[in-house]
Structure 1
């Protein structure tokens, strides 16, 4: 069934502008209009919703709960929370700031941030319906494992020193009460005292601020994806990645970087690649790279991370996806 965004793009590009759906240019422009309108709508809705939740949730209570848990339990909880929340990289940024301002350990926050764009409940249901239980479990376990191990590594490297000043200051403020007394002490106003209007104003200002910062980069990133979508010949990916050579996995990972898709949108691509004979490991490596290591995501994460942390995160993801692809291709 066509989405409203696809119908809108059909009307604007094929009916109003008169471009042909049979040309590469028409397909590229259609992809750009459909995905840009869809991402912008989701961006506004999700940032507002997350802003509302941030104004309603006592994140210090989350910190209190996590403070007494072993580190790997915390990483697992962070990755698990990322897996059950339908946040893309855009809407994960407000949650990231909320976690850091509460003083939640950076490894747990990064475990959430790594897992959140890879897995969500809609993607799991769609993947199960298209490809069955075994592949769905492999995808989920792989995504959560990447989140846990990545969070542990970034904690070990003390990644909080490479946060942007606004995130670093929020993290330092969140850490101070716990260090002073040896326990976590709530520092924010009880959420019950916030009225509906206050929560709306907070969510509205959050939406305007973040949208104003990232909209131009979304256009650039989707434009790159649209060009590849329209001008890469049909079947080229299957023809060049379907033989299972060792180099096909890192090539698939690198090819996914300039593209953009969320976990739900990439599932049909995954199905198409598998049906055309691309090995499972190569397919998952390509799709995960498209979702979690794409150009738009890292541009957005630049708002809260310095270049060194972005580079470490980028290399970590590429190595993780490549090793995972090789392992699954050998099974």
Structure 2
């Protein structure tokens, strides 16, 4: 068991966390006279290390997930979801959300397509909540920063929010709150051609290029903010607002994440820096969930598809769920970190 524990720590720190890269970059910068123990040198080291690490993980993860996703085009996904009923359908929809797009704005067109196809509204909302919040990429990235326990619990609780939220919406029978152009859309089943391995690899690579172009600016911004927090904001300031002494830290972090637009790749460096400065774990994860699930641009897009009552319910369910998860992580942080 000791060997397995040490082996997994090696995987977590050196393979996923790539701490060897941080050391190498630090030695490189010191060689050229930049003191990495100072604010400027530390910021440069943090920025270069996190950008390279996140881009590498981004490309590898998107390629793998996109290859898996090539087996689940919208038509096939619709047929899979159509075989299940009740809470089982919500669970399958939430799980399918883990192998679909990386941000909420990308998930909304799929949500509209599934709703137009006649799938139960609660099922499509379970998918919509799960897709940006708990994709497979978030699991691996969270493992690289926060460890296995935090990553697994984060994903499980995110799936719970998706399943409970979708089930509640289904029970309230709010189909009339979906815009008519979606409810009345005519769907044509298009036969799905079975892709060859070469075609799946091509599709996965195209998704890597497309997603990289889309998220690269947010990675730079996120890492830049993280480097600033990590090296320039005093620790006592972070602790005062987001640490143990502030019982409203989770609520503040959730609300602060709403106006932002980023995906998990842009949030990770900010979360990493906040945690290192003394912010509570639940506060950091609530911020990440708020950004990825309730970003203002995605809410504006969703408003075009559903009416205010349903939109407000969606926002309310996600907000309450995120806040509960945040406080749960705060309460049990000592067991997870």
2:39 is matched with 24
Native 8 Å contact 1:78 1:111 kept in 2: no
| Aligned partner (choices 260, 280, 283) of residue 281 of structure 2 | 283
Q: Find the aligned partners of 1:187 and 1:47 in 2 and give their Cα distance.
A: 26
2:290 is matched with 293
Cα 1:221–1:245 change in 2 (3 A) is closer
Cα 1:42–1:308 change in 2 (3 A) is farther
Task: Please give the root-mean-square deviation of Cα atoms over the aligned residues, in Å.
Answer: 4.9
Q: Find the aligned partners of 2:131 and 2:30 in 1 and give their Cα distance.
A: 38
- Written as runs of structure 1 = structure 2, the 5 A alignment for 1:61-76 is 61-76=76-91
Q: Find the aligned partners of 2:212 and 2:141 in 1 and give their Cα distance.
A: 24
Which digits, 9 at most, give the CA deviation of each residue in 1:146-172, with x for residues without a partner?
22234456777679769xxxxx99x99
Matched residue of 1:187: which SS?
Answer: coil
Native 8 Å contact 1:96 1:113 kept in 2: no
2:102 is matched with 89
TM-score by length of 1: 0.64
Cα 1:266–1:145 change in 2 (3 A) is farther
Cα 1:248–1:289 change in 2 (3 A) is closer
Cα distance, 1:255 vs. partner?
Answer: 6.1
- State yes or no: 1:108 paired with 2:106: no
Cα distance, 1:239 vs. partner?
Answer: 4.6
Which digits, 9 at most, give the CA deviation of each residue in 1:151-201, with x for residues without a partner?
456777679769xxxxx99x998x714xxxxxxxx623332xx22332233
Matched residue of 1:21: which SS?
Answer: coil
Cα 1:24–1:265 change in 2 (3 A) is closer
- Written as runs of structure 1 = structure 2, the 5 A alignment for 1:174-323 is 176-177=187-188, 187-191=190-194, 194-243=195-244, 245-254=246-255, 283-284=281-282, 286-294=283-291, 298=295, 306=301, 308=303, 317-323=318-324
Q: Find the aligned partners of 1:230 and 1:296 in 2 and give their Cα distance.
A: 28
2:25 is matched with 9
Q: Find the aligned partners of 1:295 and 1:109 in 2 and give their Cα distance.
A: 14
Cα 1:73–1:196 change in 2 (3 A) is closer
- State yes or no: 1:44 paired with 2:59: yes
Which digits, 9 at most, give the CA deviation of each residue in 1:115-136, with x for residues without a partner?
41596378579978768xxx97
Cα distance, 1:227 vs. partner?
Answer: 1.4
Matched residue of 1:294: which SS?
Answer: helix
Native 8 Å contact 1:221 1:260 kept in 2: no
Cα distance, 1:293 vs. partner?
Answer: 2.7
Cα distance, 1:214 vs. partner?
Answer: 2.6
Cα 1:197–1:6 change in 2 (3 A) is same
Native 8 Å contact 1:253 1:318 kept in 2: yes
- Deviates further, 29-38 or 240-249: 240-249
Q: Find the aligned partners of 1:55 and 1:314 in 2 and give their Cα distance.
A: 30
Cα 1:74–1:124 change in 2 (3 A) is farther
1:183 is matched with none
- State yes or no: 1:120 paired with 2:135: no
- Deviates further, 221-230 or 115-124: 115-124
TM-score by length of 2: 0.63
Q: Find the aligned partners of 2:112 and 2:29 in 1 and give their Cα distance.
A: 43
- Deviates further, 113-122 or 230-239: 113-122
- Written as runs of structure 1 = structure 2, the 5 A alignment for 1:123-202 is 139=154, 142-152=157-167, 176-177=187-188, 187-191=190-194, 194-202=195-203
Matched residue of 1:70: which SS?
Answer: coil
